[in-house]
């Protein structure tokens, strides 16, 4: 029998990455993620006492690392809304050999970057969909100015955190912003990655027509700043990478709609209330919190997680059709991207 830490799922994919959502709340209402009014009602959020505590998250993370996880990404909702997040960062940063990162909308980053870096965060990803203030305010839909996110990025870089920038592209909304984003971040030392608009959740009214294919994004950048492809650095790398021919760094595209990468997906996700999801497009998660709260035995946790992982068959993006887009699934703000 194989040792547990090399165990793979039913399609031969090992468990290597873990995304941990620490809250489902957000201070933005990005139109592609948490549109303000959903079917005439407001969002209902997880009660605070239902959230995994930092101790519980650390315990789970250690079990996941024992099963082969090498990288943990803290996410949300907006993770910087979780009080004392740097305490969680410090706990996870103390796990040997773990690559620890975080994805944020950047709104609170100027205040928090130094504490996060001091707590041991290795690097950070900031979501930023436009440099045009009016477009940015319309996309976050809470009238948040782009300048403050740019300040957050500068503060994080000054605190020594390598920064990646993620931009979701939605047709007719910010596809005119691609070249400006590329211009701003090339040569600045921050890797920019464009993300195809995905049919996650059931609230964003996703339509295939709204997706700007990665090939079109690359062609748009290439016509302004010529590009050449870069070989993937490792199995499961989600972004396809391109290098500016003039040496001004790299840019990536995440093409989960037009060129799905399920075959290489090594990622598990835990929701803020401790449910385990093996795909971004799952409808149902496996409750780990009950086990964490009732058993002190890490072996029981290990068994439960590896049982779920070894039975994993998900490859939603490869099977996506107009019909699958209508299937029930969790929201991106719940599961964390």
Ligand X SMILES: C[S@@+](CC[C@H](N)C(=O)[O-])C[C@H]1O[C@@H](n2cnc3c(N)ncnc32)[C@H](O)[C@@H]1O
Q: What is the 3-state secondary structure (H, E, C) of 240-279?
A: EEEEECCCCCEEEEECCCCCCCHHHCCEEEECCCCEEECC
Kindly write out the interface string for residues 2-41 of this chain, putting x where it contacts ligand SF4 by CB under 6 A and - elsewhere. Answer: ------------------------x-xxx--xx-------
Q: Judge whether 273 and 46 are in contact, CB under 8 Å.
A: yes
34 binds, among ligand SF4, ligand X, none (CB under 5 to 8 A by kind): ligand SF4
- Helices 214-224, 178-185: crossing angle, 10 deg rounding: 60
Q: Which of 23, 101, 103, 140 binds ligand X (CB under 6 A)?
A: 103
Determine the residue with CB nearest ligand X: 337
Burial of 186 (0-12, 13-18, 19+ CB in 10 A): buried
Distance CA 4, CA 12 (A): 14
User: Measured from the CB of residue 258, what is the shortest distance to ligand X in angstroms?
Assistant: 13
Q: Which residues pair with 125 in a beta bridge?
A: 103, 164
User: Measured from the CB of residue 146, what is the shortest distance to ligand SF4 in angstroms?
Assistant: 13
266 binds, among ligand X, ligand SF4, none (CB under 5 to 8 A by kind): none
* Alpha helix (H) residue ranges in 178-335: 178-185, 214-224, 289-294, 298-310, 316-319, 332-335
Distance CA 295, CA 157 (A): 41
* Residue 41, SS3 per DSSP: strand
152 binds ligand SF4 (CB under 6 A): no
Comparison of 196 and 314: residue with beta carbon closer to ligand X: 196
Comparison of 116 and 332: residue with beta carbon closer to ligand SF4: 332
Kindly write out the interface string for residues 179-208 of this chain, putting x where it contacts ligand X by CB under 6 A and - elsewhere. Answer: ----------------x-xx-x---x----
Distance CA 240, CA 253 (A): 5
Of residues 73 through 92, those in contact with ligand SF4 by CB under 6 A are 76-78
Comparison of 30 and 173: residue with beta carbon closer to ligand SF4: 30
Distance CA 311, CA 15 (A): 12
- Of 126, 43, 122, 27, the closest CA to residue 81 belongs to 27
* Residue 211, SS3 per DSSP: strand
Q: Which stretch binds ligand X (CB under 6 A): 9-17, 73-81, 89-97, 245-253?
A: 73-81
Kindly write out the interface string for residues 278-317 of this chain, putting x where it contacts ligand X by CB under 6 A and - elsewhere. Answer: ----------------------------------------
Degrees to nearest 5, angle at CA 184 with 212 and 191: 70
Distance CA 292, CA 309 (A): 17
Q: Which stretch binds ligand SF4 (CB under 6 A): 72-80, 159-167, 208-216, 273-281?
A: 72-80
85 binds ligand X (CB under 6 A): no
For residue 249, give both structure tokens: 């760094």
165 binds, among ligand X, ligand SF4, none (CB under 5 to 8 A by kind): none
166 binds, among ligand SF4, ligand X, none (CB under 5 to 8 A by kind): ligand X
Q: Which of 33, 60, 63, 279 binds ligand X (CB under 6 A)?
A: 33
Q: Contact residues for ligand X (CB under 6 A)?
A: 26, 32-33, 75-76, 78, 103-105, 127, 166, 168, 195, 197-198, 200, 204, 332-333, 336-337
Q: Contact residues for ligand SF4 (CB under 6 A)?
A: 26, 28-30, 33-34, 76-78, 105, 127, 332-333
């Amino acid at each position: 029998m194989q040792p547990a830490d090399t165990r793979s799922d039913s399609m031969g994919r090992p468990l290597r990455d873990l995304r941990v959502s620490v809250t489902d709340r957000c201070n933005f209402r990005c139109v592609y993620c948490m549109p303000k009014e959903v079917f005439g009602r407001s969002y209902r959020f997880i009660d605070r006492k239902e959230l995994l505590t930092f101790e519980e998250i650390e315990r789970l993370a250690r079990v996941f690392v024992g099963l082969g996880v090498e990288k943990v990404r803290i996410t949300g909702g907006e993770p910087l809304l979780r009080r004392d997040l740097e305490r969680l960062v410090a706990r996870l940063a103390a796990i040997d050999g773990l690559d620890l990162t975080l994805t944020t909308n950047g709104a609170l980053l100027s205040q928090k970057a130094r504490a996060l870096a001091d707590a041991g965060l290795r690097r950070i990803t900031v979501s930023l969909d436009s440099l045009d203030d009016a477009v940015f305010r319309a996309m976050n839909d809470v009238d948040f100015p782009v300048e403050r996110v740019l300040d957050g990025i500068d503060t994080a870089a000054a605190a020594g955190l390598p920064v990646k920038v993620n931009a979701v592209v939605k047709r007719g909304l910010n596809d005119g912003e691609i070249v400006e984003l590329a211009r701003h971040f090339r040569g600045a030392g921050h890797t920019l990655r464009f993300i195809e608009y995905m049919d996650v959740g059931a609230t964003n009214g996703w339509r295939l027509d709204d997706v700007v294919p990665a090939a079109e994004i690359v062609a748009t950048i290439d016509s302004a700043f010529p590009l050449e492809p870069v070989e993937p650095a490792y199995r499961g790398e989600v972004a396809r990478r391109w290098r500016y021919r003039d040496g001004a760094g790299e840019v990536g595209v995440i093409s989960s709609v037009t060129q799905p990468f399920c075959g290489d997906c090594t990622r598990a996700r835990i929701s803020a209330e401790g449910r385990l999801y093996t795909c971004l497009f799952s409808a149902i998660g496996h409750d780990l919190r009950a086990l964490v709260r009732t058993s002190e035995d890490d072996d029981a946790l290990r068994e439960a997680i590896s049982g779920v992982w070894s039975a994993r068959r998900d490859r939603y993006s490869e099977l996506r059709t107009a019909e699958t887009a209508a299937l029930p699934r969790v929201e991106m703000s719940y599961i964390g991207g």
